């Protein structure tokens, strides 16, 4: 890698940076060719600095890449212009420091590749994390459901397979769950699922199943 620095150039940093951004990362030969056709004053100056950086490393322009083309703010010269009624207006003339670094194309590509390899696993892990969390949550819910399942609620009076599924959706899996339902739960089930008949009779029948098990 080699570099070249040109200090206190009579050009505004804002205008010079417009050109510097265009050649950043380009092949030096292509950058020099492109700068020849740019009308900006800064283009000719930056072209000379790039050529100097290439020469400092004893490279050929086609062998290197511009890894850095930086424009720093330098001193600002102040001038005055006479105006009406004996007054004066200040004129600011900014200057810049131009720093160019070049490196062989093969060496310049390796750090970028390593950085991309480091970032890739992190991005993959970030994408996989939500999916893994959802899978774990689903597995836990399935495990809880399998632990609660065990009683055939269709044996209870007035409850068929369809209504058993509705009870399971509400977290009711066993005879004890049905027998322990409160009045509010019973009213909610009758209203929500339009239970045909008196659901309280089904709850009473579930209590008989529970008492039979305990006996």
Alpha helices in 39-182 (DSSP H): 41-56, 105-148, 161-169, 175-179
Side-chain-facing half-sphere of 8: CA atoms under 13 Å: 3
* pLDDT confidence bin for 11, thresholds 50/70/90: very high
Percent of the chain predicted with pLDDT > 90: 48
Identify which of 37, 35, 80 has the alpha carbon closest to the alpha carbon of residue 54: 35
* pLDDT confidence bin for 204, thresholds 50/70/90: confident
Give CA angle at 16 (79, 76), nearest 5°: 25
| 214, pLDDT greater than 50 | no
Mean pLDDT value of segment 188-204 = 70
Query: Do residues 40 and 131 lie in contact, with contact meaning Cβ atoms separated by under 8 Å?
Result: no
Which of 21-25, 128-132, 138-142 is most confident? 21-25
Ramachandran angles phi, psi of 117, nearest 5°? -65, -35
Determine how many CB atoms are found less than 10 A away from the CB of residue 21: 11
Identify which of 189, 122, 198, 191 has the alpha carbon closest to the alpha carbon of residue 158: 198
Tens digits of residue pLDDT in 46-74: 999 999 999 999 999 999 999 999 999 99
* pLDDT confidence bin for 109, thresholds 50/70/90: low
Tell me which of 130 and 84 has the higher pLDDT.
84
| 113, pLDDT greater than 60 | no
Provide the whole-model pTM. Answer: 0.50
Tens digits of residue pLDDT in 153-188: 677 777 777 777 777 777 777 777 777 777 777 777
């Amino acid at each position: 890698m080699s570099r070249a620095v040109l200090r206190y150039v009579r050009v505004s940093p804002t205008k010079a940076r417009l050109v510097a951004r265009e050649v950043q990362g380009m092949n030096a030969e292509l950058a020099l060719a492109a700068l020849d056709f740019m009308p900006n004053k800064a283009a000719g100056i930056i072209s000379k600095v790039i050529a100097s950086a290439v020469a400092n490393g004893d490279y050929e322009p086609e062998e290197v890449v511009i890894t850095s083309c930086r424009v720093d703010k330098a001193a600002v010269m102040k001038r005055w212009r006479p105006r009406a009624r004996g007054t004066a207006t200040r004129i600011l003339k900014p200057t810049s420091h131009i720093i160019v670094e070049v490196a062989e194309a093969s060496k310049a590509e390796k750090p970028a590749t390593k950085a991309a390899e480091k970032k890739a696993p992190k991005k993959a892990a970030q994408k996989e994390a939500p999916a893994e969390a959802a899978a774990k949550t689903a597995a836990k819910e399935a495990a809880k459901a399998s632990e609660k399942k065990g009683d055939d609620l269709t044996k209870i009076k007035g409850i068929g397979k369809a209504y058993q599924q509705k009870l399971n959706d509400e977290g009711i899996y066993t005879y004890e769950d049905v027998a322990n339902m409160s009045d509010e739960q019973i009213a909610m089930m009758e209203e929500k699922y339009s239970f045909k008949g008196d659901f309280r009779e089904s709850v009473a029948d579930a209590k008989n199943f529970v008492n039979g098990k305990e006996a």
